[in-house]
Amino acid sequence: MKVLVINCGSSSLKYQLLDMQTEKVLAKGYCQKVGIEGSFSDHEANGVKTHSHRQLKDHKQALKLMSKFLTDKKIGVIFNINEIDAVGHRVVHGGENFSHSVIIDGKVKEAIRECIPLAPLHNPPNLMGIEACERIMPNTPMVAVFDTAFHQSMDKKSYLYAIPYEYYEKYGIRRYGFHGTSHKYVSNKVAEILDTKVDEIKVISCHIGNGASICAINKGKVQDTSMGLTPLEGLVMGTRCGDIDPAIIKFLSDKEGYNIHKIDDILNKNSGLLGVSGISNDIRDIEQAESEGNQRAKLALEMFAYRVAKYIGAYAAAMNGVDVVLFTAGVGENGIKVREEVCAYLGYLGIYLDKEANDSRGKLKEITTSDSKVKVFVVPTDEELMIARETKGLIG
């Protein structure tokens, strides 16, 4: 069975074609600046990389180019686009409608559309991708895999905000959580490595990349997660502030005369590591600056690790214990120093870092010593594979 995984952003298209017998990636690509002047695309299959500068007017044209690459006589991996058995689409927000992946039909598309107010930047391009695919592959079944679905197992006491209840009823204001596909993949993977079932262990999953969230997974069910109504809440991120006192918004508005949109922009795009360090949203640049004695860079890194450690403590308490802590995504998989700094706070849990094991990037491995009471793992995430598995599960 061949499954195509599609992730559509407002001006981008990422795709992977997987053979689900072997779970091998047959081809993958990334089209950027779709609908904007200067489009370009990168495609890779059988170790051959192809770069294209063709202008892409919209997502339909981007998908046509993908189809051309996939079926090309020289570098193609299939003869005909109809050889693709199913398409799995990443959809960011499913609201309360979807606790699982679903086969896409008119009603599902309508429900995704209804969630646009909750994810105005993400759901419209996700829908655009679905509709463009339907035009190119009208007979191929499609599945929607939601970032929010895994978190739907949270209890009301975890997902409600303590604001008047009517706003939850009227507008669905609550914690939804994001990165669900990644948290699900890595928690299942770690259970597999430990030769146990995910519903027998308590896991704290730290997905820390440019966007970052942490998730308490109690015997396979999400008990709590750090992102909220939007991906702004929780950890210190590349450019997002994470948790702040909401009164700061009015305070800033009074002092600087900013309107609400300007403040929202500051909190999403100019805060986090970038805002504190004044240097970059990328940990690598900040670590470099810290090594040259920059004090703000040092402070940004300290705040970043401290916030992760605080959430781990809160979630260990909420679950009345934890068996495994895991790190994933760009910083989680590669940030040796960040992992060391986070683990330095966790001695009270019986977590003892094995510094030699931790001196590694992008590899699945345990990084705690054998006498550690709680195991810590680095688990590279693979959201595309998870989407392909969910798609196969529904279509296959």
* Range list of H helices, the chain: 59-71, 106-114, 123-136, 156-159, 165-171, 180-193, 247-256, 260-269, 272-277, 283-291, 295-318, 329-334, 336-343, 355-358, 383-395
Cβ nearer to ligand AMP, comparing 11 with 55: 11
Beta bridge partners of 325: 204, 376
Residues 11, 4: Cα–Cα separation, whole Å: 19
The answer for residues whose C-beta is within 8 angstroms of residue 69's C-beta and 6 or more apart is 27, 29, 43, 45, 50, 75, 76
Ranked by CB distance to ligand AMP, the top (closest) residue is 330
Smallest distance from ligand AMP to CB 193, Å: 21
Q: Interface with ligand AMP includes 379 (CB under 6 A)?
A: no
Each residue 182-201 as x (binds ligand AMP by CB under 6 A) or -, in order, gives: --------------------
Considering only 113, 197, 284, 355, the residue that binds ligand AMP (CB under 6 A) is 284
**Cβ atoms 149, 99 nearer than 8 A:** yes
Question: Six-digit token pair at 382?
Answer: 């693979």
Q: Interface with ligand AMP includes 329 (CB under 6 A)?
A: yes
Q: Interface with ligand AMP includes 129 (CB under 6 A)?
A: no
Strands 202-208 and 212-218: antiparallel
Cβ nearer to ligand AMP, comparing 85 with 282: 282
Whether 195 sits among the annotated catalytic residues: the reply is: no
Q: Which stretch binds ligand AMP (CB under 6 A): 78-86, 151-159, 170-178, 277-285?
A: 277-285
Considering only 29, 88, 129, 238, the residue that binds ligand AMP (CB under 6 A) is 238
| Residue of 42, 147, 195, 245 marked catalytic | 147
Number of residues that bind ligand AMP (CB under 6 A): 12
Q: Interface with ligand AMP includes 239 (CB under 6 A)?
A: no
Q: Interface with ligand AMP includes 361 (CB under 6 A)?
A: yes
Q: In what order do the strands lie in the sheet with 221-225?
A: 221-225, 212-218, 202-208, 324-328, 375-378, 365-366
Between CA 154 and CA 161, with CA 155 as vertex, the angle to 5 degrees is 95
Smallest distance from ligand AMP to CB 238, Å: 5
In 3D, which of 155, 144, 221 has the Cα closest to residue 188?
221
Q: Interface with ligand AMP includes 330 (CB under 6 A)?
A: yes
Cβ nearer to ligand AMP, comparing 55 with 288: 288
- Catalytically annotated residues: 147
Q: Which residues bind ligand AMP (CB under 6 A)?
A: 209-210, 238, 282-284, 329-331, 334-335, 361
